[in-house]
Amino acid sequence: MPHDDLQDFIRTLEKKKELKRIPFEVDPYLEITEFADRGAKQGGPALLFENPKGSQIPLLINAFASDRRMAIALGVERMDDIAVRITELKELKKPEGIMGAMKMLPKLGELSNIFPKTVSDGACKEVILREGQFSLDSFPILHCWPDDGGRYITLPLVFSRSRRTGKPNCGMYRMQVFDDKTCGMHWQTHKQGADHYRQLNAEGKDMRMPISVAIGADPAVTFSAIAPLPPDIDEMMFAGFLRNEPVRMVKSETNDLLVPADAEIVLEGYVELGELRREGPFGDHTGFYSLDDDYPVFHITCVTHRKKPVYAATIVGPPPMEDFWMGKAVERIFHIDEAAIARSGGYL
């Protein structure tokens, strides 16, 4: 069964005794990392920090940090079940005769449920804050490791659109917080977001590229952002395939990009051509800090969120950590070696 949203997933994890609530105050500066790191390495449950220091918003971490939680997230018994469904679709051939066509109907009916559904409103718009009304400091954004360049949004779903084809993309790129309304946009050169930026640069017309970032969504949507899909496959369509149910999408307040209507938090804004800022270092999955470098700046112009949102986060570092199990799921579903994922720079 698909999860309605992140909070539905949290309730499911708690029902299955896969979640621990932390009621006392814990600091997003290094302390939450210590809890999450030890928990992941010791096979502990997902952690919901109900009282992160300096914020009124609970923080969820390690939600994907086991084989069982990955299966719960994607609504299957085993990751191989998804791989089988993908293989069956790849092997579909033109039917021979009426009986062949009838046998294909169940598979074709399944495909009818994968396309995103645009709706007029959603829970992500229960609170709408425009310029001058919001600050990133209200969120429990993690400073993960001692020598990190700053605080990082670590589980963002970054939505952009190709200028050439008009097709949307959802990627996961870490975002270093520079101040209360700007972040770094760490899209490496081979990522689709970076390609969209290059397309805009090649046109030499508009100086601003619209971006919307969702934080906290149905786990199938979050997983789809890291899935190694071909550039012409919409991540939200793949999420619909995983869910057997369409992802509800709603138009952003300040641009034309669609975002998951049931997301917890949405940051809307833009990157400006030619504007770069130093981002990093960042404690990486290799056990070392990735070096600082120049990346585009994401200017936030509007924040929308639920009345009582949950902030979703992750950390990376020496395995096993949460991204280790996410990588295992990718390997089982797509038959891609985890080493290849690491060589490509990982997810963040």
Active site residues: 284
Q: What does the alpha-carbon distance between residue 320 and residue 70 come to, in Å, rounded to a whole number?
A: 14
* φ and ψ of 117, to 5 deg: -115, 120
Rounded to the nearest 5°, which phi and psi values hold at 321? -135, -175
The residues, ordered by sequence, that sit 6+ positions from 252 with a Cβ below 8 Å of its Cβ are 210, 212, 258, 259, 266, 268, 302
CA separation, residue 138 to residues 58, 102, 113, 265, 312 (Å): 11, 55, 37, 12, 14
Residues in contact with 21: Cβ distance below 8 Å, sequence separation at least 6, in sequence order: 14, 48, 50
Q: Residue 82 — φ and ψ, nearest 5°?
A: -70, -40
Are 181 and 300 spatial neighbours (Cβ–Cβ below 8 Å)?
Answer: yes
DSSP 215-255: ES--HHHHHHTTS---TTS-HHHHHHHHHTSPPEEEE-SSS
80 CB-near residues (< 8 Å, 6+ apart): 332
